[in-house]
Every structure is written in C-alpha cells, then in structure tokens.
Amino acid sequence: MRRTLSACLVTLLLLAGCTGNERAEVLTHPQPLPSYTDGIRINAWFSQTSGNYHEGGGIDQLLVDDIESAESEILLAIYAITNDRLRDALIQAHERGVDVQIVTDDGEYEDEDMKRLRQSGIVVHHDDDRYALMHDKFLVIDDRVVWSGSCNYTYYAFYRNNENLVKITSQKIAAVYKVEFEELLQRRYIENPFISETIEIYFSPEDNFKQRLLQLIAGAKERIDFLAFAFTDEAIAKALIAKKEAGVSVRGVIDEKQNSYQKYSEYAYLKSQGIEVYLDANPFTLHDKVMIIDDTVVTGSYNFTQKANDTNNENSIVVHNGAFAQKYLSEFEKIFTLARSAGKE
C-alpha cells in the first residue's frame, strides 16, 4: 500500500550550501521558504569541513534552533550522538515539558551521551539487534518538521566530514516519519513508501529501496554523479556501468578510508570499467550517500550496500526538481574537483 499525493508541480527553494565562509551568511540571513499547495517545503545544507567546532555556528545550530522551538513532541531516530549542544538542547526540551523520545542502535545505547540523555529522564530505546544497525538519522518535531540526511549527531558530522542535512516542513511528511518511528519501537516493519510527484520517502529494510534506485539509474538520460561513504553493492555498480556504456556521463567520489576497509568495495571495479571515480580528498570522512540523476536527488542514510537495503534500518529521500539538484551538483563539483586533483588511487 502506498501513500500518494495529488499530482502537482512544485518549485523547490534550497538555501545555499554551508561550506567555508558561506556558512555565517547562510545561517544569519536564511531565505524565506515558499508556500506550496501540497504543504511541502524542503531545504538542504552542506557541512563545513574546517573551523573550530567548539565555537559553534555550523549547521548543527539549525537543529538546535528547531529543538529549542519544539512545543509538544520530539522523535529522534539516530545512530550516534556525541554533540553536546544537541544533547543539551534535547534535555532542555524535555525539562520544559516536551515529550522527547529517542531510538538508537543497541551498540550505541551505552555510550556516554545516551546515558546522559537517559539520566535526564528522556526515554531512549534501542533496536536490540546485534546483526543489524539502527542506522536512521531523522528527527520529527511537533508533527510538522522533519530533519534527515547523512549526519549523525556528532561534531565531526557538522564540522569535518562531507555531509548533507535536509529539512522538510510538512505535516504529511512528518506523519510518514512518525509512523516509521513507531515501527522502530515495535520492531515491526511494513512496506509503505510515500510517493508524490516531487518527493519520495523510503525506509529499509521493508521498502526495497534498491529496486527503486536501480529504476532511477536506468532512467538516467544525461548524467549520474554520486558521493558514497560505502559502496559494495555490485548490482548498483553494474547499473552505473551500463549507463556509462549507453553514453550517460557517470562520475563519483568514494570515501578513501571506507574503501580500504571494505573487502567488497566496488571502487576498483567501477574504475576498471571506465567510470570516472576518485577517492575523496577529505582528511576526515566523506559521509554523504548521494546520487544526482539528471534533475533528481537521492539522499538519506542509505549507503550503497546490500546490508543497507536488506538488514539495516535506513531512510531514503528522492527529490525530483532541477533547482534542488543544482545545489547538490554544486557541492558534488567541489568534492569531485578536490578528489581528482589529489589523484589518490
């Protein structure tokens, strides 16, 4: 069963990427969000990769601001949290009467910040599954605002790694994520993706997002650009190679450390088949999980691995809009240019 919206054309407005000196201007002078007939608004930001994170002012402040404005409920599904500003904002929300609930991976449940959250009285759940990761990264506030993307709630996610953070303002989308949160608590997963003309939401393992991703790749007409923390799924690699052989431009960047760690990384195979793919030049981590397919953006917590599709809890966002895609393409070009210049093999 699929949730559907009436078809409508939406022009999505995206705030400028947050890297380097652009960050302060973006956070100080945000552009107003437009109103849509279907009630959906979406924006995205990109992490900075330098600066003193103890001083704050990065895109984690956007999350803190929304947590501080919460009036009734905060639902957080997060793999890891070590950012004390976000931790303290959640505790303060709880102390002023907001219902704060968190679900995390069982491997992270005993970490210090999770303990501090529990000690404050916040209810923290875990997946109780040592064979799978509760790898989601989403936040639902007051049945209206959803934050997702690649970021765990760590300092490095916002101040060192290459990451993206997405905000969706919509009661309809918030309801979708709230249902998923309840499924995480119950450990019962029901296939139920959300699909409209401009945005699609999928959850793993129940929605078989890999099948949809392969459809999107197969439909590419001009270009596919990707940023990957982990890439071990051979079927996705073969789909990209097939599009390259059909004349579509295919380029990518894969995290260097994860490539060296993963026994089944597809980096060497992609390169051997003529894909223009490089290892990243960030001395920390390229943690994005992004594909830009013509005017469509795929993002979220889903790495390009079989485990992401079949085992882990993940969430994936698909946005069909040229302006949105252009913002991600600009971020891709920065990362791609640095990786190509570094020339790592």
Residues taking part in catalysis: 287, 289, 294
- Rounded to 10 degrees, the C-alpha dihedral 259/212/168/106 comes to -50
Cα–Cα distance, 31 to 65 (Å, whole number): 16
What are the Cα distances from residue 291, in Å, to 57, 100, 101, 163, 225? 28, 33, 31, 13, 6
Cα–Cα distance, 184 to 300 (Å, whole number): 17
Amino acid at 37: T
Q: Is the peptide bond before 205 cis (omega within 30 degrees of 0)?
A: yes
Q: How open is the CA angle 236-167-315, to the nearest 5 degrees?
A: 35
Tokens read off for 316: 């994936």
String of DSSP letters for 225-276 = EEEES-B--HHHHHHHHHHHHTT-EEEEEE-HHHHHH-TT-SHHHHHHTT-E
- Going by C-alpha positions, the residue among 152, 149, 103 that lies closest to residue 317 is 149
